[in-house]
Amino acid sequence: MPLSEHEQRMLEQMERALYAEDPKFATALEGSGLRTYTRRRVYQAVAGFLVGIALLMAGMVAKQVWLSVVGFLVMLGCAVLAVTGWRKAPKPGEQAGGAAGPQARRQGRQHRSVMDRIEQRWQKRRDEQGGH
């Protein structure tokens, strides 16, 4: 079940507080565990892709169109999972957040502050409209 907007904001605030209070601990939590998880997910997707090829071929040999279609859909789904998982995986020398250096961190802060300002403006408009 997805989180509501309020719950997502609360989670983001808790994450920021954790980074502010103990950045070493926060970095240790997200270290290689995420990289291992995404790598495992990519390997599983590649294995699923091979299963999809086998289903596609089996459907062609048995002249069962539905089996070939299922095989193609499995291949397509696994290819999407592999590509998205590979893009999200941090590089070996990189932090899991993807921040390769101070420049990337600064851009993340600027992006966050822009989002905070937008949220504040939105909240202000809602308060003004609610008061009238």
Q: Please, what are the averages of pLDDT over each run of 10 residues along the chain (132 residues)?
A: 77 80 71 67 89 94 94 93 70 48 50 74 80 56
Helices (H), the chain: 5-21, 23-30, 32-62, 65-88, 102-131
pLDDT of residue 50: 94
pLDDT of residue 87: 64
Query: pTM for this one?
Result: 0.44
pLDDT of residue 88: 61
Write the burial class of residue 79 (CB in 10 Å: 0-12 exposed, 13-18 middle, 19+ buried): middle
The structure tokens 């270290």 sit at 31
Is the CB of residue 59 less than 8 Å from the CB of residue 68?
Answer: yes
pLDDT of residue 96: 46
